[in-house]
Amino acid sequence: MAAKAVAGAVRTTLGPKGMDKMLVDTLGDVVITNDGVTILKEMDIEHPAAKMMVEIAKTQDEEVGDGTTTAVVLAGELLKQAEDLLEQEIHPTVIAAGYRVAAEKAVELLKDVAVKVSANDEDLLNKIAVTAMTGKGTGSARAELASLTVQAVKSIVDEDGSVDIDNITVEKKVGGGITDSQLVHGMVIDKERLHPNMPKKVKEARIALLNAPIEIEKTEVDAKIEITSPDQLQAFLDKEESMLRDMVKTIVDSGANVVFCQKGIDDLAQHFLAKAGIYTIRRIKKSDMEKLARATGARIVTSIHELTTADLGKAGLVEEKKIAGDDMTFVTQCENPKSVSIILRGGTEHVVDELNRAMEDALRVVGVVVEDGLLVAGGGAPEVELALRLRQYAATVGGREQLAIEAFAEAMEVIPKTLAENAGLDQIDSLVSLRSKHEQGMKTAGLDMDSGEPVDMLDLGVVEPLRVKTQAINSAAESAVMILRIDDVIASRSGGEGGMPPGGMPGGMPGGMGEDFD
């Protein structure tokens, strides 16, 4: 019941016509979203079985980035179907075995209906990004954002064809409209230069990446320096200054005119760097340093004295720009940037946050398709096709497992049903017309949300990565089986070393009884 309730909570958010949820926490902070995993993460869930449904969404999100609501709704429907079978006195292990067989068969069948896609087919990749963003607050700007997504993913594909979406930085800035969002072929760092005397713009930048402080190190052990006369103090201060001067000289001698430092920089060193005309930023995140290294070809150096010209990276332009009232550093015109940035703009903070979630989903699914090169139609088409084929397969299996496989097929149809329901269409009419098209051999017939008619989804451009569907089916089936196999929920003692229960003796026996056992 608890698991079904969680699935019911996110069911209304599925599809392009799905509604949003407003989540309000105890502090009064508001999140408005229809992203399944965000809703489930933010929900205050106590029941242990319901928490397992949240895990499904998290796994789906980590693996493929999209299809979280699909996976949870599917798991909820599998449990609902299992409930009917349990009432017919079919044993849970039989249902579990049938579900496992059905899930394996479903993944196999999905691979049959998958369509190959090339990483260079920008048109199809754009459609995948648009499908992932649909219904997520992107409105009419979907096409522009999808184009940004595809360009960003194509820029960071490695030689072996793998895609690490972490190499795309997404910066959110409130202000302007959604269409003001832009892709920067290079890095955008949300920091300003350290000193007003440093140049605002550096052309033909030679970039040093330092993972070392440009300041005098404190000793590891407690040390005491005794100074007995003023000239000793002056000599001490002069030495500190000359050490900092030497550090800056090493940087200047290497030929660097831009320095990104992960650690702190002394005030005096800032002055010397400004005098040398070196654009400097400090306390940059480790992840940003790694992206800068990819984008510029620089090596991260952990000791300033080891810095050489060979460690420097290159960029055509490093400049400070003001965006929405904040100064940011742009590192652009890199030769072959294997790390890029997207700046998202929107009218309010809630819009930008939801836009960011839509963009993350789109980036992940485009990355998955570029890696796998396989996609399936959307709009409930693969689910109706699977339901049809699984029913045919169930007839060949026989025994009680046949009922479980048929129940699995029935559960698959919850997706087109929910899509129809959320679009204000009649569930039964929509499903019957879809089934008839699939029986006639139209494998990619899905539901057109506007007309309510079955339409070829590939022609309509509603496509999703194969991995989104296979992952959703696998995780939904596994979770449903796991919940099915639980026959009792028992409260366990926390921490292992439990004390005596109230009353002293186990079972609440009065402690005084111990005297009789002496």
| Same structural domain, 236 and 251 | yes
C-beta atoms surrounding 222 within 10 Å: 5
CA atoms within 13 A on the CB side of 465: 29
| Same structural domain, 351 and 316 | no
Confidence band, pLDDT 50/70/90 cuts, at residue 140: low
Alpha helices by DSSP H, listed for 114-229, are 122-133, 142-155
User: Which residue from 101, 46, 43 is spatially nearest to 72, judged by alpha carbons?
Assistant: 43
Residue ending a domain, among 333, 364, 397, is 333
- Only one residue has tokens 């194509």, namely 154
pLDDT in tens, 316-373: 888 888 877 778 888 888 776 777 888 888 778 878 887 888 888 888 888 888 888 8
Q: What percent of the chain has pLDDT over 90?
A: 2
Q: What is the CATH number of the domain that holds 440?
A: 1.10.560.10
Residue ending a domain, among 273, 308, 333, is 333
| Same structural domain, 214 and 124 | no
Please pick, among 361, 418, 444, 470, the residue that the annotation labels catalytic. 361
Confidence band, pLDDT 50/70/90 cuts, at residue 273: confident
Q: What is the CATH number of the domain that holds 135?
A: 3.30.260.10
Q: What is the CATH number of the domain that holds 248?
A: 3.50.7.10
Contact 446, 469 (CB under 8 A): no
| Same structural domain, 301 and 319 | yes
The predicted model gives 284-308 an average pLDDT of 84
- Is residue 429 annotated as part of the catalytic site, yes or no? no
Please pick, among 33, 69, 296, 329, the residue that the annotation labels catalytic. 69
* Single-letter amino acid code for the residue at 15: G
Residue ending a domain, among 333, 352, 385, is 333
Residue 501 lies in a domain: no
CA dihedral 58, 59, 60, 64 (to 10 degrees): 110
| Same structural domain, 388 and 462 | yes
- Indicate if the pLDDT at residue 14 is higher than 60: yes
Rounded to whole angstroms, the Cα distance separating 365 from 369 reads 6
| Same structural domain, 204 and 257 | yes
| Same structural domain, 307 and 350 | no
Alpha helices by DSSP H, listed for 92-199, are 92-113, 122-133, 142-155
User: Which residue from 216, 323, 322, 195 is spatially nearest to 259, judged by alpha carbons?
Assistant: 195
Residue 506 lies in a domain: no
Domain that holds residue 148: 118-185+337-372
Q: Is 320 helix (H, G, I), strand (E, B) or coil?
A: strand
Please pick, among 68, 134, 250, 470, the residue that the annotation labels catalytic. 68
Rounded to whole angstroms, the Cα distance separating 75 from 160 reads 35
Residue 76 lies in a domain: yes
- Is residue 69 annotated as part of the catalytic site, yes or no? yes
Contact 245, 221 (CB under 8 A): no
Residue 301 lies in a domain: yes
pLDDT in tens, 359-389: 888 888 888 888 888 888 888 888 888 899 8
Confidence band, pLDDT 50/70/90 cuts, at residue 135: low
User: Which residue from 53, 26, 28 is spatially nearest to 41, judged by alpha carbons?
Assistant: 53
Is residue 470 exposed (0-12), middle (13-18) or buried (19+ Cβ within 10 Å)?
Answer: buried
| Same structural domain, 221 and 271 | yes
- Provide the domain count of the chain: 3
| Same structural domain, 92 and 8 | yes
| Same structural domain, 427 and 411 | yes
Contact 35, 68 (CB under 8 A): yes
Residue 500 lies in a domain: no
Residue 245 lies in a domain: yes
Evaluate if pTM is beyond 0.85.
no
pLDDT in tens, 388-397: 989 888 888 8
- Only one residue has tokens 């005096």, namely 268
Residue 257 lies in a domain: yes
pLDDT in tens, 190-232: 888 888 888 888 888 888 888 888 877 776 677 777 878 888 8
- Is residue 68 annotated as part of the catalytic site, yes or no? yes
User: Which residue from 417, 359, 456 is spatially nearest to 15, judged by alpha carbons?
Assistant: 417
| Same structural domain, 465 and 451 | yes
For the chain, the residue count is 518
- Is residue 33 annotated as part of the catalytic site, yes or no? no
CA atoms within 13 A on the CB side of 112: 11
Rounded to whole angstroms, the Cα distance separating 83 from 407 reads 10
Please pick, among 20, 35, 66, 353, the residue that the annotation labels catalytic. 35
| Same structural domain, 111 and 135 | no
Residue 491 lies in a domain: no
Q: What is the pLDDT of residue 507?
A: 45
